[in-house]
Amino acid sequence: MISENLTIVVDGGASGCRMAAFDSGGVQCAFAQDGPASLSTGVENAWRHIKQGLSSISKQIGESNDWLPQHLWMGLAGSLQSARYEHFLSLIPDEINPVVITDGHAQLLGAAGGKPGICLAIGTGSVMHWLDKQGNLSYAGGWGYPVGDEGSGAWLGAQLVNHYLWHRDIPSSKHNPLTSNNPSRMFAALEQHTGTDVSDLQLWSTSQSSTKMASLAPIVVEAVNHDDELALSFVNRGTHYCQRLIDLAPDDLPIFVVGGLADLYTTKLKSIYGERCQPAAGNALDGLYNYATEQRLHANE
């Protein structure tokens, strides 16, 4: 395999990064996963995880351990913050020509196949990008946990911790408007995850880590599957925030919901937007490959 003809792409978020090598025909011929590569959660860690992914890719394509691609096309969360972005670029060896767009942009390109559309990406964080019919790219949300990313995995985890702590603080002999007389099934699962000691709980109540909070989201998803009233109320609120984002974009565009929590919200959003909600044509890795191909074509014109 001639590695010079490969396109190497990276989709980096707060929960992990995925990398792929595509041949000149657009066929994926190598794939790797590693730790978080969101610049918001640590620039040096992001590059370390990408390097580890590159090492795995190099083995799969028959290159030496010190192999580096000539170009690296990356869709990275947190890359709009200029200081983090410049710091990240400074870590990349001179042998590599890096191209960085946001992870949400990459997801839009993959989901809509490069055509006009709205992409709501909702996983550890939440952000919406859209391309209108005049070719204008816009975005909303994605401001990051804890002040933004409503509806996301980090947001769901924070809601769960918040309601659990109120449940602890309000004596069972008093009326608890948050849980009534039937505590949520989520609370026992949360205690297994976090512990019940005050010291242990404060590690969670004061956490600024979106990745850590999002690790609690599966508890909410499991409870939703059992019709837990409190969990369903979280998802209803999250859906409202998703709707607020979507309504900022033109109403003549198809809607694609992607990310780790897409299944949690898609049914509810379909009940609001109907046939505008469509299956994604591809993922962020596909979008990055198409973006790289398009940029090369423009460069050769």
Average pLDDT taken over every residue of the chain: 88
Question: pLDDT above 90 covers what percent of the chain?
Answer: 53
| Listed residue (295, 291, 236) closest to 111, CA to CA | 291
Q: What single string gives the DSSP state of each residue in 79-108?
A: TTSHHHHHHHHHHS-TT-EEEEE-HHHHHH
Determine the Cα–Cα distance for residues 35 and 50; give it in Å rounded to an integer: 8
Q: What is the pLDDT of residue 262?
A: 93
Q: Are the CB atoms for 64 and 58 separated by under 8 Å?
A: yes
186: Cα within 13 Å, side-chain hemisphere: 33
Walk me through the domains of the chain, giving residue ranges and CATH numbers.
3-113+281-299 (3.30.420.40), 153-276 (no CATH)
Determine the Cα–Cα distance for residues 181 and 174; give it in Å rounded to an integer: 9
Pairing assessment for the beta strands 97-101 and 71-76 based on DSSP bridges? parallel
Q: Where are the beta strands (DSSP E) in 89-236?
A: 97-101, 117-122, 126-131, 137-141
Q: At 127, phi and psi to the nearest 5?
A: -155, 155
Q: Are the CB atoms for 285 and 18 separated by under 8 Å?
A: yes
Pairing assessment for the beta strands 7-12 and 17-22 based on DSSP bridges? antiparallel
Q: Is 155 helix (H, G, I), strand (E, B) or coil?
A: helix
Question: Which tokens sit at 132?
Answer: 């209108």
* pLDDT tens, residue by residue, 68-86: 888 999 999 888 889 999 9
| Listed residue (185, 186, 169) closest to 177, CA to CA | 169
The single-letter DSSP state of residue 227 is T
Determine the Cα–Cα distance for residues 174 and 182; give it in Å rounded to an integer: 13
- In sequence order, what are the beta bridge partners of 128? 120, 140
| Listed residue (43, 48, 16) closest to 31, CA to CA | 16
pLDDT (tens, 9 = 90+) of the chain, 301 residues, equals 456 678 999 999 888 899 999 988 888 889 999 998 989 888 999 999 999 999 999 999 888 878 888 899 999 988 888 999 999 999 999 889 999 999 889 999 999 988 999 999 998 889 999 999 988 999 998 888 888 889 999 999 999 988 888 887 776 545 555 555 566 789 888 988 888 888 888 888 887 788 889 999 999 999 999 998 899 999 999 999 999 999 999 999 999 999 899 999 999 999 999 999 999 999 999 999 999 988 776 666 5
* pLDDT tens, residue by residue, 121-171: 998 889 999 999 988 999 998 888 888 889 999 999 999 988 888 887 776
